[in-house]
Amino acid sequence: MTGRVLPVLAGALMGATAMAGLADAAGKSTYERLSVFGEVLERIERQYVTPPKEDELIENAINGMLSSLDPHSSYMNARDAEDARTQLRGEFGGLGIQVTMEDGRVKVIAPMDDTPAAKAGVLAGDYISAIDGQAIGGLKLEEAVEKMRGPVDTPITLTLTRKGADKPIELTIVRAVIAVEAVKFRVENDVGYLRVISFTERTYDDLEAAIAKIRKEVPAGKLKGYVLDLRLNPGGLVDQAIDVSDAFLDRGEVVSTRGRDPSETRRYDATEGDLTDHKPVVVLVNGGSASAAEIVAGALQDLCRATVLGTRSFGKGSVQTIIPMGDAGALRLTTALYYTPSGKSIQGTGITPDITIEQPLPPELQGKVETAGESSLPGHIQGQSETEQGSGSSAYVPLEAKDDMQLQYALALLRGEKTDPAFPPDQEKAFSLR
């Protein structure tokens, strides 16, 4: 699962003076052990049966050290670090094509509206057989996608096979900035539906725009409320999670983060101004809701602003900081745990819904959908309230809204077709927490 990436806390690779300071702090025994590491590395380089790649050896050694801490600390080489930054920006240089792998071939699901691919004539159902004249058979999907991405304003030629076409089609397309939707929305008759896909730099802006469009489409007197769907959301930037929570709040603590030093505890509060005009809100979560998604669900639940519905969330309550290491890449290090407004850590426990609604699995998926959460990850940080029950649940969401029991239950609550003691939330409790 993708974790919180805080603003950078450290600069480029440390110089000799800083390293000397670290040596003094670490103590003699640590550096005696490092000399053993150096000797092992030298032996491998001189005597291993095949010549090893030194860069890979060092990278794997660093990752081995970090993975012994917890499942979310890791080292990213320069390419991985740039990929992470791209994901968090929510935009990249590319063509605007959604693709999948089918029978070993890269198939276009659909071109995104108003993108270079759509304008050039790429169609849903096309198969990409070559990129810039080079056949891509045998490549992994992510490798093919990487080839299609690149600097803005640079050309790329795709060779497509299309049902009904008697020969391959070649299209030369110029890459542009592709903005990945962080929020999708629609109107379900008299209810606004907001699905937050991930927490990138674009998420709050996308959410604000979506709410404005819903309010424009449905007269205020007829709008029953909102469904905020956080299912299958792996997390992302904590500042975006705070802003998304704030969109539904007028006041109150959203989240706090606590590290090893008590003086580094940070609390983040909501500001005045509820974008939804205090309409009722139901938040959907499942075993695929993690990290930043759990911050939002926990804040709206604890402050009694929304009813949380679904199944127990993943339970990732740790904060990762990205620390640049110069040209070498970056270090992703767990530096704190986050806590909901009531002071509860969800690490290893997850968010427990106010209303539990299990999503039935179709026969072909019985026993095949992941249900384990953070508590099942080897080496995870033990949560303060973790029990044998642990965290996580099914992460299945039907493609069709009519088959989505969790969504349908939420809509029925908002329309008054169903009742539950947890809906609407207890406003007196909310006041006491603020």
Which residue in the list 126, 206, 316, 394 is annotated as catalytic? Answer: 316
CA distances from 62 to 13, 56, 73 (A): 15, 10, 11
For residue 246, the tally of other CB atoms under 10 A from its CB is 23
pLDDT digit string (tens) for 6-47? 333 222 223 333 344 444 555 667 888 888 988 999 999 999
> Domain 183-433 has what CATH class?
alpha beta
Q: What are the distances in angstroms from CA 131 to CA 104, 122, 146, 205, 359?
A: 16, 14, 11, 34, 41
302 as an active site residue: the answer is yes
User: Are 229 and 186 in contact, with CB atoms under 8 Å apart?
Assistant: no
Give yes or no: 119 in active site: no
Beta strands in 19-143 (DSSP E): 74-76, 91-94, 97-102, 105-111, 127-131, 134-135
CATH of 91-179, one of 3.40.50.10440, 3.30.470.20, 3.30.710.10, 2.30.42.10: 2.30.42.10
Tokens matching residue 285:
């979560």
User: Rounded to whole angstroms, how far apart are CA atoms 83 and 100?
Assistant: 19
Catalytic residue among 302, 345, 354, 393: 302
The active-site residue, picked from 291, 313, 345, 375, is 291
333-370 confidence digits (pLDDT tens): 999 999 999 999 999 999 999 999 999 998 888 887 77
For 376, which DSSP code?
G
User: How many Å apart are CA 30 and CA 360, to the nearest integer?
Assistant: 53
DSSP 302-338: HTTSSEEEES------EEEEEEE-GGG-EEEEEEEEE
Determine if the pTM surpasses 0.85.
no
**How far apart are alpha carbons 195 and 211 in whole angstroms?**
11
pLDDT tens, position by position, for the chain (434 residues)? 433 333 332 222 233 333 444 445 556 678 888 889 889 999 999 999 999 998 889 989 999 999 999 999 999 988 888 878 877 888 778 898 878 888 889 999 888 778 899 999 999 889 999 999 999 988 888 889 889 988 889 999 999 999 888 999 999 999 998 877 899 999 999 999 999 999 999 999 999 999 999 999 998 789 999 999 999 999 999 999 999 999 999 999 999 999 999 888 999 999 999 999 999 999 999 999 999 999 999 999 999 999 999 999 999 999 999 999 888 889 999 999 999 999 999 999 999 999 999 999 988 888 877 788 999 999 999 988 888 888 999 999 998 999 999 999 999 999 999 999 999 987 656 555 55
| Of 273, 237, 233, residue with least CA distance to 252 | 273
Asked whether 325 and 13 are in contact (CB, 8 A), the reply is: yes
135: number of CA atoms within 13 Å, CB side? 5
Look up 316 and say whether it is catalytic.
yes
**Residues of each domain in the chain carrying CATH 2.30.42.10:** 91-179
